[in-house]
């Protein structure tokens, strides 16, 4: 038999052309050859899924809508449309397509589970993250009273020194003035060889006390609020002390976190291991969060630090063990997330 569309030779028992997928027979009862089956539209579905993996969502949606126009009951195209919208973060649209899919196949356990997960992600996205408790303020050390007592003591010493100096000055003036004899009395002459008593030296004032040094400021995470600094400290502790920076984006209602690679070989598997480890530590603290934006930075040979990877990791990333990651599994993992690599980094082996 020859296909009337592409003229390819096919077996006489075939219902579809194996080259172009065109329907040859209409009298088959095999569900694999039914109108609108996955086998009939497989090339189009494969093309749409490839565009989705490449991030070309609009082109993938257009192909799916053309399939829906011809075969509105095809389950696979419903699921693919739901996954495309979920990849873009449009959970409302993804939920609508999976609700239609569950109506078409109400007994399909996989479809029902996927719909449940999408609804849970939307609820976590709408709800604000739990507030991170502020660290309790440490009571101030009792230095103010000590400073006040020391200042009062200095004032007392200065005042006493001033009074003593005034009294000594008055005594010197009295000793310098001659004593007038009383009327009718004869003053005895002073002996010429009497030793002269030098006037007493003035009392020197004590030096002013040196000001006490100001207390050193408490150590913290520069550029972060108290809640962000506390979360960064918790994540750093779970990552064996690796430097971590955190911020909460209220516009996207999402946490952001970055970890710094201190040393070692810099390759894509190593960087992805650090990113997954940071995401696992975050989801251990907030398992109901929808996603977290993770970044990995490393020392820049020209000075400072450079961002080498950034991506949004969903809660499913917490199930990945970073220690088992290799080149093949790392490439498969990147197909499931939205990530960015710094093109200027000189990756090592």
- 47 falls within a domain: yes
Reading the block at residue 93, the tokens are: 């649209």
SS3 track for the chain: CECCCCCCECCCCCCECCCCCCECCCCCCCHHHCCCCCCCCHHHHHHHHHHHHCCCHHHHHHHHHHHHHHCCCCHHHHHHHHHHHHHCCCHHHHHHHHHHHHHHCCCCHHHHHHHHHHHHHHHHHHCCCCCCCCCCCCCCCCCHHHHHHHHHHHHHHHHHHHHHHHHHHHHHHHHHCCCCCCCCCCCCCCCCCCCCCCCCCCCCCCCCCCCCCCCCCCCCCCCCCHHHHHHHHHHHHHCCCCCEEEEEECCCCEEEEEEECCCCCCCHHHHHHHHHHHHHHHHHHCCCCCCEEEEEEEECCCCCEEEEEEEEECHHHHHCCHHHCCHHHHHHHHCCCEEEECCCCCCCC
Task: Note the pLDDT tens digit of each residue in 2-28.
Answer: 777 666 777 666 665 655 556 666 544
Q: How many domains does the chain have?
A: 2
- 101 falls within a domain: yes
Per-residue pLDDT at 221 exceeds 60: no
- Show which of 108, 126, 144 is a domain's final residue: 126
Residue with tokens 């506390």: 230
Q: What is the mean pLDDT of the chain?
A: 77
Q: How confident is the model at residue 233 (pLDDT cuts 50, 70, 90)?
A: very high
- 57 falls within a domain: yes
Residue 266's CATH number: 3.30.70
The CA radius of gyration of the chain, in Å to the nearest whole number, is 43
The rounded distance, in Å, linking the Cα atoms of 279 and 258 is 10
Task: Note the pLDDT tens digit of each residue in 103-120.
Answer: 988 999 888 999 999 999
Vertex 293, ends 306 and 95: CA angle to 5°? 150
Task: Note the pLDDT tens digit of each residue in 192-211.
Answer: 454 444 444 444 444 444 44
Predicted structure pTM score = 0.38
Q: How confident is the model at residue 246 (pLDDT cuts 50, 70, 90)?
A: very high
> What does DSSP say about strands 338-341 and 305-313: parallel, antiparallel, or unpaired?
antiparallel
Task: Note the pLDDT tens digit of each residue in 29-60.
Answer: 444 444 556 677 788 888 888 999 999 999 99
Neighbours of 193 (CB within 10 A): 5
- Show which of 84, 103, 126 is a domain's final residue: 126
Sheet holding 254-260, edge to edge: 244-249, 254-260, 292-299, 305-313, 338-341
Backbone angle region of 154, left / alpha / beta, with phi > 0 → left and psi within -120 to 50 → alpha: alpha
Task: Note the pLDDT tens digit of each residue in 121-157.
Answer: 988 877 666 666 666 655 545 566 777 777 777 778 7
- 29 falls within a domain: no
- 179 falls within a domain: no
67-81, 95-109, 200-214, 292-306, range with the lowest pLDDT: 200-214
- 25 falls within a domain: no
Reading the block at residue 346, the tokens are: 């000189």
- Show which of 126, 158, 188 is a domain's final residue: 126
What pLDDT does residue 252 have?
81
Residue with tokens 């993770």: 294
Per-residue pLDDT at 219 exceeds 80: no
What pLDDT does residue 148 have?
74
Mean pLDDT of 254-261: 92
The residue range of the domain holding 87 is 35-126
- 19 falls within a domain: no
Mean pLDDT of 316-340: 89
- 203 falls within a domain: no
Residue 61's CATH number: 1.25.40.10
């Amino acid at each position: 038999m020859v296909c009337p569309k592409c003229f390819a030779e096919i077996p006489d028992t075939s219902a579809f052309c194996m080259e172009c997928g065109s329907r040859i027979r209409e009298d088959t009862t095999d569900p694999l050859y039914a109108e609108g089956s996955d086998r009939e539209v497989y090339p189009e579905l494969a093309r749409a899924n490839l565009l989705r993996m490449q991030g070309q969502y609009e082109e993938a949606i257009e192909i799916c809508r053309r399939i829906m126009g011809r075969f509105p009951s095809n389950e696979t195209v419903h699921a693919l449309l739901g996954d495309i919208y979920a990849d873009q973060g449009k959970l409302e649209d993804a939920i609508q397509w999976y609700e239609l899919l569950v109506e078409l196949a109400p007994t399909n356990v996989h479809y029902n589970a996927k719909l449940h997960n999408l609804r849970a992600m939307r609820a976590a996205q709408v709800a604000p993250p739990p507030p991170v408790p502020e660290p309790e303020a440490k009571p101030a050390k009792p230095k103010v009273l000590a400073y006040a007592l020391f200042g009062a003591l200095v004032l007392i010493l200065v005042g006493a020194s001033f009074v003593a100096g005034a009294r000594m000055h008055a005594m010197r003036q009295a000793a310098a003035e001659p004593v007038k004899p009383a009327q009718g009395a004869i003053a005895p002459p002073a002996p010429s060889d009497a030793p002269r008593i030098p006037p007493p030296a003035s009392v020197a004032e004590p030096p002013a006390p040196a000001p006490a040094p100001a207390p050193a400021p408490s150590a913290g995470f520069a550029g972060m609020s108290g809640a962000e600094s506390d979360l960064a400290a918790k994540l750093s502790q779970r990552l064996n002390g690796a430097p971590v920076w955190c911020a909460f984006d209220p516009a996207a209602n999402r946490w952001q976190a970055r970890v710094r690679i201190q040393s070692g070989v810099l390759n894509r598997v190593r960087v992805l291991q650090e990113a997954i480890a940071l995401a696992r530590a975050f989801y251990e603290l907030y398992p109901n969060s929808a996603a977290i934006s993770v970044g990995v930075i490393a020392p820049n040979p020209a000075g400072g630090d450079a961002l080498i990877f950034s991506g949004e990791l969903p809660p499913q990333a917490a199930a990945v063990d970073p220690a088992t990651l290799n080149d093949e599994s790392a490439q498969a993992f990147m197909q499931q997330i939205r990530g960015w690599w710094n093109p200027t980094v000189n990756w090592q082996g």
